[in-house]
Amino acid sequence: MQLTKRLSLLAAAAALTATTAVFAAPTYINVLTGGTSGVYYPIGVAISQLYGQIDGARPSVQATKASVENLNLLQSGRGELAFALGDSVADAWNGVEDAGFKAPLKRLRAIAGTYNNYIQVVASAESGIKTLEDLKGKRISVGAPKSGTELNARAIFAAAGLSYEDMRRVEFLPYAESVELIKNRQLDATLQSSGLGMAAIRDLASTMPVNFVAIPGDVVEKINNPAYQPGVIPAGTYDGQDEDVPTVGITNILVSHEKVDEEVAYQMTKLIFDNLDALGNAHAAAKAIKLESAAQNLPIPLHPGAERFYREAGVLE
């Protein structure tokens, strides 16, 4: 009898320990960004710092090759929040293999539409490149292979009647490395998809004379993808850029996945919109994030936690 009672007490203690362990388990929130010299990274760091306010959360930030890699990592559960371009998100949901997705990524869920990326084609002034047509026979970098930037480059060149074969050399490099090669006269130009005021291009424009290449509206119209919209790099965004530059704007989306707990996703979304000033201080591009439009025109379903937040905020019926 005594032995039975002792065993029961031990079993109860074990059950209590197991239950306590479950409740005490940390909530890992890995924020997937992009290269450290881009815009995703500083905003991702700021978001990660906010997530330290979530009970039991252990936030972290991971520098990546951005959109395509981020979405594949989310699908495999190796991140909880990621930045990605809207066209890449649509391609991931539909499983467009040529865009870097071997099968449809149906675990993805949207947290928020944020600010626009702008296609920024910048060339050294000495290269003589002033138009897209001038890129023929020149050396250019277009981002990592099958990255969101590189997919943008393909779409824009095709709409302009160009291809990689028209260039003297095409490199597939991230922001900072592309800029360093231009500084060293080893490249003539780079095409980058990023928020305005991106650090690597600021660095280049402050170091040497550069030209910003326009992407005219008629080229944008030929891109058969609603994610691509006419945009402008306002005059004065970079040193020596004295005029507005017509280009392409593409919405960035913060993406999660279906296995992230609803309450956690709710807190993740709420903390973003309760602290927009802090995100704007991390990078000026984040100042364009608006609650009113964050749940609109998304190519994938909202995470239920994010949806609950938007309904409470009155921006979603």
In total, how many domains does the chain have?
2
Residue 113 φ/ψ, nearest 5 degrees:
-80, 140
- Give the range of the structural domain holding residue 265, as residue numbers without chain letter: 25-115+252-313
pLDDT at residue 13 tops 90: no
Per-residue model confidence (pLDDT) at position 282: 97
Per-residue model confidence (pLDDT) at position 196: 92
Q: What is the domain-level CATH number for residue 297?
A: 3.40.190.10
Which has more pLDDT, 146 or 194? 194
Write the Ramachandran bin of 255: left for phi over 0, alpha for psi from -120 to 50, otherwise beta: beta
Q: Are residues 111 and 256 in the same domain?
A: yes
Per-residue model confidence (pLDDT) at position 225: 85
Q: Are residues 37 and 51 in the same domain?
A: yes
- Domain termination site, one of 235, 250, 265: 250
Q: Are residues 90 and 141 in the same domain?
A: no
The answer to whether 85 touches 55, Cβ cutoff 8 Å, is no
Q: Are residues 233 and 260 in the same domain?
A: no
Domain presence at residue 14: no
Percent of the chain with pLDDT over 70: 92
**How far is it, in rounded angstroms, from Cα 143 to Cα 42?**
19
**How far is it, in rounded angstroms, from Cα 278 to Cα 288?**
13
The beta strand positions in the chain, using DSSP E, are: 27-32, 57-62, 81-85, 108-124, 139-141, 169-171, 189-194, 210-213, 229-233, 245-257
SS3 assignment, position 30: strand
Please give the full DSSP string across 79-141, using - where no structure is assigned.
Answer: -SEEEEEHHHHHHHHHT-GGGT-SS--TTEEEEEEEEEEEEEEEEEGGGT--SGGGGTTSEEE
Which one, of 279, 178, 196, lies nearest residue 238 by Cα? Answer: 196
Q: Are residues 125 and 236 in the same domain?
A: yes
Domain presence at residue 257: yes
Mean of the pLDDT values across residues 67-79? Answer: 97
Sequence-separated (6 or more) residues with CB below 8 Å from residue 183? 204, 207, 208
Q: Are residues 161 and 214 in the same domain?
A: yes
Mean of the pLDDT values across residues 130-143? Answer: 97
Q: Are residues 146 and 206 in the same domain?
A: yes
Per-residue model confidence (pLDDT) at position 6: 54
The answer to whether 181 touches 127, Cβ cutoff 8 Å, is no
Q: Are residues 152 and 277 in the same domain?
A: no
**How far is it, in rounded angstroms, from Cα 117 to Cα 87?**
11
Per-residue model confidence (pLDDT) at position 21: 39
The pairing of strands 139-141 and 169-171 is parallel
Counting other chains too, the contacts that 19-25 makes at CB distance below 8 Å and 24 or more residues apart are 24/56, 25/56
pLDDT at residue 30 tops 80: yes
Q: Are residues 132 and 237 in the same domain?
A: yes
Q: Are residues 235 and 149 in the same domain?
A: yes
Mean of the pLDDT values across residues 257-262? Answer: 98
Domain presence at residue 41: yes
